[in-house]
C-alpha cells in the first residue's frame, strides 16, 4: 500500500457535504439528537457519545472506565454475556462500545426491520449492564493482554511517554486501559460506579442517520436513554503541554526507530483553529505536505511522516509521528526541526494555501460516504459545540483563510525550540537531552 | 497491501446482494479486452474509480520478490504526459484521495473524488497503464521508502515476522509462501529494469478491470471508458496464470518463533484449503460458514464457548479463512492463552475442541444466527461503496465471474450442517498444516 492510512481524532475535525439536511430532534424528556433521514437503504446508524470519558474516573480507579465500557455488551438485563451476544446476532445488529480520555462512544447500526428489538438490546446494555463476576474476570484478563501488548509496542511506548511529558499530573497523562496493578484492584462494584459516572443523560450526544423519521427517533430517545442517571462528577480542568523542548530515547530492540513529537497546540474553539488546521495540512498531511516531500519523496527516509492537531476536549497539542531506520532517524529529525523553523519564520506561500484550500474543500464530501460515517460526524460536531449549519459553512470558513491568517497562527503555534521528541528504538547519533 | 487477504478473513460481508435490495451493477467489456463494472450509489456526488490488474506478488519471477509491490509505488512517479511527482498532486488539488494496494493475486489503484472529475481520473489512469516514465534516482529513493515500509510493517512486528515464517512453511512450492512486500535481501536488489520489465509484461488493458462506484450513469461511464481506456493497445504477452503448485504434503510442520518483543504468546494452525472457483464455490462457502461457526464471534462460537467460557483458559480464540484467492489458500485456527496457561495446553485443548466438533457437528441455532447475519450483510453492504467496489474488483481479478459474485450469497445461504461437516473433515488434515507457537524470547 502506498500510504499507510492513519486514523486519528476524526471527531473534532469531521465535517461536511451536500446531502446533509440535518434535523434537530428533541424527545419529550429533553434528549436531543441530530438526524439525517436516509430512506434508500433499510438500516439505521446511531453514534452516541458521553462526554467525560476515562479522564473523569477517580485516580485510584485507573482503568475502570475502559474496562466498564468493554463489559457493556457482556451481559445486561435478563441476558448473560452469551445470551446477549446471541440475541444481537439473531437480529444481525452491529454494536460497538469504546472509551477514550474524553468520551465513551457507542456505534449501533441496525436493520430497520429489527429496529425496536435492537434498540431494546442497546437500552439494557446502557442502562442495565450486569457486570457479572465471571464476565468481569474474563474481560479484565483481556485488558491485561492489551496492557502487555502496549508495553512492547513502539508506538504505544512512545505515545505513553509523550503523554506523561505533556500532561504531568493531569488525568490525561494516565493510560486509558490502566495498569496491571490498577485493574487488579478493581471490582464489579467499581464497574457499577464507573457506569453511573460515565453514562449520564445530561452529557449525551447523539447523531442518527438512516431509515427513520423524527417522530420515531424522538420516541426511541426516551425509550433508550430516559433511565440514565444525571451527572455527579466534574469534567476535568483544562491543561496544556508541560514539558519544553528535548529528546527522550526509549531503548527498544527494533531495526527502526519510531518518533512521536510535539508541543502545545490549539483548542477546537479557538478562533484560529481553522487557520491552524489549514496550516497543518501544508506542514504534514497528505502527499504534497512539506514533511512528506522533504523526508519521504526527496530522500526516502521514511514510509510515513505526518503531523496533526490533537484537540483533546481539555487541552490542545500539536503533534507528529514518523518511523525511520535507526541509522536515518537523526537526519529525519533534523529535517522536521528545519521545517518547523521554516514554518514559524516564513509561514506559507499563496500557492501552498490555494492548493490546501482546494484539497480540503474538495475532499470534504468524501467523508460523508456511509450512514455510519455521517452519524459520527453529526455526533462529533455536537461534541465540539459547533452549530448545526456548520457543514454548510465549513468550506467557506476554509476558503476565507488568508496567508496572513496562517502566518499569524504559525508564529504563535509553531515553536521549534519547544518541540519535544520521544524516540523508541535504537537510534544512531542521537543523545537524549 | 500486505494484509489484504487476511482482512477478508471471516468477513461475511464478502457476500453479494440478492435479497431484499441489490446494488445496481452494470458490466461491459471494451474491445481491447478490458472488463468494467459500474456500481451505482446516488446518495452523494462522489465516485470511487479503480483499476485492478490481474497480477500480484505470487506472479513474480524467482529472486524478484517484492517487484509487484515496488512497481505499485513507482506507478505514482510520472508518465510521458504527467511530470514527475505530479500524479498525486493533481488529484489532491481537486480534493481527491488516491492510493493503491498489492496482494498475492492482484494490484489495484484507486481514487475517491467528486464525480465531475471522473473523466480526468480515467485519462490519468489510462496514461499510466502504458506510458509510465521512470528514472534511476526515483527508483532508488522509492526503494528506500519500501525498505522503510517493510521495517515498519513487518520487521518491527513479531506477529508479522511469525506470519511470514508460517506461510513459508505452509507453501512448499507456491509463491503464497513469499511475502507480498518481498524478502528484504531481494527488495534491496530490485532495480529500474526489473520494474519496467514487470510493468511492460503485465500492465495492459486486457489484463485490467475497471471498477467505478458512485453517483454515475453507467452509459456515461461506458462512453468515457471507451474514449480513454478503449484506445489502449492490448498486450499479446498476457497468458493464462499458471503458477507452481503444491506437491502432496506428507508431514505436518511445526515451528516455534521466539522474539523479545512478544507480549502475548499464542498458538496458531493453518491448513491448506480450497478456494472459490468459477462455477464451483460450494466448498468455499461451506468453509466460510465453518470459520464463522468455529471462531467468528468470540463467546458464541465453538472455540470461544469452549475455551473462553466453559474451560476459560484463553484470552482470545478465532478461526479464519479467505475464500477469495486465485489458488488454494488456508484455513486457520488460533488460541491466545491466558496468564499461566502453556501453549502446549492451549494447543491440546484447541485440538480437543476440533475433535468434538467433528463428532457433534454444528449447533442448529448457531447456524441460524450466522445465516441471519449473512442475509443482513447484503443490506449493510449497500452502505459501503468502497467495500462493494473491492468485492467486485477482487473477485474478477482472480477469475471469478459476475455470475459467481451474484451467486455467492446464495451459496452461503444454502450451506447445510452436512456441507460444513464434509468440508471440515476434508480440511482438517494434519499433514496439510503448519502449527506455530509465537513465544517470548527466554521462555519455554
Pairwise CB contact (< 8 Å): B263 & A42? no
Of A278, A357, A269, give the one whose Cα is nearest residue A314: A269
Average pLDDT over residues A282-306: 95
**DSSP conformation class of B279:** T
**DSSP conformation class of B315:** E
| pLDDT of A41 higher than 90 | yes
Are A182 and A3 in contact by the 8 Å Cβ rule? The answer is no
Distance (Å, whole) CA A159 – CA A161: 5
A chain contacts of residue B316, beta-carbon cutoff 8 Å: 142, 145
Pairwise CB contact (< 8 Å): B156 & A323? yes
Mean pLDDT value across chain A: 93
Pairwise CB contact (< 8 Å): A300 & B145? yes
A chain contacts of residue B372, beta-carbon cutoff 8 Å: 89-92
CA distances from B184 to A8, A208, B64, B150, B156 (A): 30, 48, 11, 8, 13
User: Looking at the complex, does the CB of residue A263 fall below 8 Å from at least one CB of chain B?
Assistant: no
Pairwise CB contact (< 8 Å): A300 & B383? no
DSSP-derived 3-state class of residue A240: coil
User: Domain coordinates of chain A in residue numbers?
Assistant: 20-225, 246-425
Q: What is the pLDDT of residues A336-363, one digit of tens each?
A: 999 999 999 999 999 999 999 999 999 9
Distance of CA B245 to the CA centre of its chain: 19
Distance (Å, whole) CA B444 – CA B435: 16
B chain contacts of residue A281, beta-carbon cutoff 8 Å: none
| pLDDT for the residue B2 | 30
- Does ipTM come in above 0.85? yes
Q: What is the pLDDT of residues A157-166, one digit of tens each?
A: 999 999 999 9
Average pLDDT over residues A216-241: 93
B chain contacts of residue A366, beta-carbon cutoff 8 Å: 46, 95-97, 112-113
| pLDDT for the residue B253 | 98
| pLDDT of A35 higher than 70 | yes
DSSP-derived 3-state class of residue B40: strand
Q: Which residue has the cell 491466558?
A: B338
**For testing contact with chain B, the best of A89, A285, A296, A398 (most B CBs within 10 A):** A89
- pLDDT band at A241, cuts 50/70/90? confident
Of B182, B206, B205, give the one whose Cα is nearest residue B194: B182
| pLDDT for the residue A163 | 95
| pLDDT for the residue A431 | 76
Q: Which CATH class is domain A20-225?
A: alpha beta
| pLDDT for the residue B1 | 31
Cell of B250: 506428507
Cell of B320: 479464519
Pairwise CB contact (< 8 Å): A41 & B21? yes
Task: Please give, rounded to a whole number of angstroms, the shortest distance from the CA of A191 to a CA of chain B.
Answer: 20
Are A302 and B149 in contact by the 8 Å Cβ rule? The answer is no
Pairwise CB contact (< 8 Å): A256 & B152? yes
- pLDDT band at A286, cuts 50/70/90? confident
Distance (Å, whole) CA B174 – CA B58: 8
The model's pTM is: 0.93
Pairwise CB contact (< 8 Å): A2 & B21? no
Backbone angles phi, psi at A24, to 5 degrees: -95, 120
CATH topology of domain A246-425: Cytochrome Bc1 Complex; Chain A, domain 1 (3.30.830)
The answer to whether the A20-225 and A246-425 domains have the same CATH topology is yes
Distance (Å, whole) CA B421 – CA B362: 8
| pLDDT for the residue B297 | 86
Distance (Å, whole) CA A137 – CA A187: 9
| pLDDT for the residue B156 | 92
**For testing contact with chain B, the best of A369, A371, A398 (most B CBs within 10 A):** A369
Per-residue pLDDT of chain B (444 residues; tens, 9 = 90+): 332 322 222 233 333 333 446 789 999 999 999 999 999 999 889 999 999 999 999 999 999 999 999 999 999 999 999 999 999 999 999 999 999 999 999 999 999 999 999 999 999 999 999 999 999 999 999 999 999 999 999 999 999 999 999 999 999 999 999 999 999 999 999 999 999 999 999 999 999 999 999 999 999 999 999 999 999 999 998 999 989 999 999 999 999 999 999 999 999 999 999 999 999 999 999 999 999 999 988 899 999 999 999 999 999 999 999 999 999 999 999 999 998 999 999 999 999 999 999 999 999 999 999 999 999 999 999 999 999 999 999 999 999 999 999 999 999 999 999 999 999 999 999 999 999 999 998 765
CA distances from B143 to B72, B86, B88 (A): 11, 19, 18
| pLDDT of A182 higher than 60 | yes
Q: Which residue of A has its CA nearest to B73?
A: A2
B chain contacts of residue A180, beta-carbon cutoff 8 Å: none
Q: What is the pLDDT of residues A377-418, one digit of tens each?
A: 999 999 999 999 999 999 999 999 999 999 999 999 999 999
| pLDDT for the residue B13 | 32
Residues of B assigned a catalytic role: 72
| pLDDT of A12 higher than 60 | no
Amino acid at each position: 500500500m502506498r500510504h499507510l492510512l492513519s486514523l486519528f481524532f476524526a471527531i473534532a475535525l469531521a465535517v461536511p457535504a451536500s446531502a446533509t439536511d440535518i434535523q434537530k430532534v428533541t424527545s419529550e424528556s429533553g434528549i436531543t439528537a441530530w438526524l439525517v433521514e436516509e430512506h434508500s437503504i433499510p438500516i439505521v446508524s446511531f453514534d452516541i457519545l458521553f462526554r467525560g470519558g476515562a479522564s473523569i474516573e477517580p485516580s485510584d480507579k485507573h482503568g475502570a472506565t475502559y474496562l466498564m465500557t468493554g463489559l457493556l455488551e457482556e451481559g445486561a438485563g435478563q441476558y448473560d454475556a452469551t445470551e446477549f451476544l446471541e440475541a444481537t446476532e439473531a437480529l444481525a445488529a452491529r454494536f460497538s462500545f469504546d472509551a477514550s480520555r474524553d468520551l465513551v462512544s457507542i456505534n449501533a447500526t441496525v436493520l430497520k426491520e429489527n429496529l425496536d428489538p435492537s434498540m431494546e438490546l442497546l437500552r439494557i446494555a446502557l442502562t442495565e449492564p450486569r457486570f457479572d463476576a465471571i464476565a468481569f474476570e474474563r474481560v479484565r484478563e483481556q485488558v491485561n493482554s492489551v496492557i502487555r501488548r502496549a508495553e512492547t509496542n513502539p508506538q504505544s511506548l512512545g505515545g505513553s511517554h509523550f503523554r506523561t511529558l505533556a500532561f504531568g499530573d493531569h488525568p490525561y497523562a494516565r493510560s486509558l486501559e490502566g495498569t496491571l496493578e490498577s485493574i487488579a484492584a478493581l471490582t464489579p462494584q467499581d464497574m457499577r460506579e464507573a457506569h453511573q459516572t460515565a453514562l449520564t443523560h445530561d452529557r449525551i450526544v447523539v447523531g442518527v442517520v438512516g431509515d427513520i423519521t423524527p417522530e420515531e427517533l424522538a420516541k426511541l430517545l426516551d425509550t433508550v436513554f430516559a433511565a440514565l442517571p444525571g451527572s455527579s462528577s466534574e469534567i476535568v480542568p483544562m491543561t496544556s503541554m508541560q514539558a519544553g523542548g528535548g529528546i527522550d530515547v526509549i531503548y527498544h530492540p527494533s531495526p527502526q526507530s519510531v518518533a512521536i513529537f510535539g508541543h502545545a497546540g490549539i483548542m477546537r474553539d479557538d478562533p484560529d483553529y481553522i487557520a491552524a488546521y489549514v496550516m497543518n495540512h501544508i506542514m504534514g498531511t497528505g502527499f504534497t505536505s512539506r514533511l512528506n516531500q522533504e523526508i519521504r519523496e526527496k530522500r526516502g527516509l521514511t514510509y510515513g511522516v505526518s503531523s496533526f492537531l490533537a484537540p483533546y476536549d481539555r487541552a490542545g497539542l500539536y503533534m507528529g509521528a514518523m518511523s525511520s531506520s535507526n541509522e536515518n532517524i537523526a537526519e529525519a529529525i533534523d529535517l522536521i526541526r528545519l521545517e518547523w523553523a521554516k514554518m514559524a519564520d516564513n509561514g506559507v506561500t499563496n500557492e501552498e494555501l490555494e492548493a490546501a484550500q482546494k484539497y480540503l474543500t474538495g475532499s470534504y464530501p468524501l467523508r460523508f460516504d456511509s450512514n455510519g460515517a455521517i452519524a459520527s460526524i453529526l455526533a462529533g460536531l455536537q461534541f465540539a459545540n459547533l452549530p448545526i449549519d456548520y457543514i454548510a459553512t465549513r468550506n467557506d470558513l476554509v476558503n476565507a483563510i488568508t496567508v496572513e491568517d496562517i502566518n499569524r497562527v504559525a508564529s504563535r503555534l509553531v515553536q521549534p525550540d519547544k518541540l519535544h521528541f520521544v524516540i523508541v528504538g535504537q537510534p544512531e547519533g542521537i543523545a537524549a537531552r | 497491501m500486505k494484509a489484504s487477504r487476511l482482512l477478508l478473513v471471516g468477513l461475511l460481508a464478502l457476500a453479494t446482494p440478492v435479497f431484499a435490495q441489490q446494488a445496481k451493477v452494470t458490466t461491459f467489456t471494451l474491445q481491447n479486452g478490458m472488463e468494467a463494472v459500474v456500481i451505482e450509489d446516488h446518495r452523494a456526488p462522489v465516485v470511487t474509480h479503480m483499476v485492478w490488474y490481474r497480477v500480484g506478488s505470487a506472479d513474480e519471477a524467482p529472486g524478484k520478490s517484492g517487484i509487484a509491490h515496488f512497481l505499485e509505488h513507482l506507478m505514482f512517479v510520472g508518465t510521458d504526459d504527467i511530470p514527475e511527482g505530479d500524479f498525486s498532486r493533481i488529484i489532491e488539488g481537486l480534493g481527491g484521495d488516491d492510493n493503491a494496494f498489492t496482494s498475492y493475486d492482484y494490484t489495484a489503484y484507486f481514487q475517491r473524488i467528486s464525480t465531475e472529475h471522473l473523466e480526468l481520473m480515467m485519462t490519468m489512469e489510462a496514461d499510466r497503464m502504458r506510458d509510465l516514465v521512470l528514472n534511476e534516482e526515483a527508483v532508488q529513493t522509492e526503494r528506500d521508502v519500501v525498505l522503510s515500509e517493510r521495517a515498519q510493517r513487518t520487521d518491527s512486528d513479531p506477529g508479522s515476522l511469525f506470519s511470514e515464517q508460517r506461510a513459508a512453511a505452509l507453501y512448499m512450492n507456491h509463491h503464497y509462501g513469499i511475502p507480498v512486500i518481498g524478502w528484504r535481501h531481494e527488495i534491496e536488489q530490485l532495480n529500474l529494469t526489473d520494474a519496467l520489465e514487470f510493468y511492460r509484461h503485465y500492465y495492459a488493458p486486457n489484463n485490467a478491470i475497471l471498477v467505478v462506484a458512485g453517483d454515475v450513469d453507467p452509459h456515461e461511464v461506458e462512453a468515457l471508458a471507451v474514449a480513454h481506456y478503449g484506445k489502449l493497445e492490448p498486450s499479446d504477452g498476457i497468458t493464462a496464470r499458471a503458477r507452481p503448485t503444491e506437491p502432496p504434503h506428507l508431514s505436518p510442520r511445526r515451528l516455534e518463533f521466539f522474539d523479545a518483543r512478544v507480549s502475548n504468546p499464542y498458538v496458531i494452525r493453518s491448513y491448506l484449503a480450497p478456494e472459490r472457483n468459477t462455477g464451483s464455490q460450494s466448498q468455499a462457502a461451506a468453509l466460510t460458514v465453518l470459520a464463522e461457526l468455529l471462531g467468528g464471534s468470540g463467546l458464541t462460537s465453538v472455540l470461544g464457548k469452549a475455551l473462553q467460557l466453559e474451560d476459560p483458559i484463553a484470552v482470545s480464540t478465532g478461526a479464519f479463512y479467505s475464500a477469495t484467492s486465485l489458488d488454494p489458500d488456508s484455513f486457520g485456527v488460533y488460541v491466545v492463552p491466558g496468564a499461566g496457561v502453556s501453549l502446549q495446553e492451549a494447543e491440546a485443548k484447541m485440538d480437543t475442541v476440533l475433535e468434538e466438533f467433528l463428532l457433534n457437528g454444528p449447533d442448529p441455532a448457531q447456524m441460524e444466527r450466522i445465516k441471519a447475519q449473512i442475509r443482513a450483510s447484503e443490506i449493510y453492504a449497500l452502505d459501503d461503496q468502497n467495500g462493494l467496489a473491492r468485492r467486485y474488483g477482487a473477485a474478477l481479478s482472480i477469475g471469478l465471474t459476475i455470475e459467481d459474485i451474484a451467486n455467492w450469497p446464495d451459496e452461503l445461504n444454502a450451506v447445510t450442517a452436512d456441507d460444513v461437516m464434509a468440508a471440515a473433515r476434508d480440511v482438517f488434515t494434519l499433514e496439510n498444516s503448519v502449527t506455530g507457537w509465537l513465544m517470548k524470547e527466554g521462555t519455554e
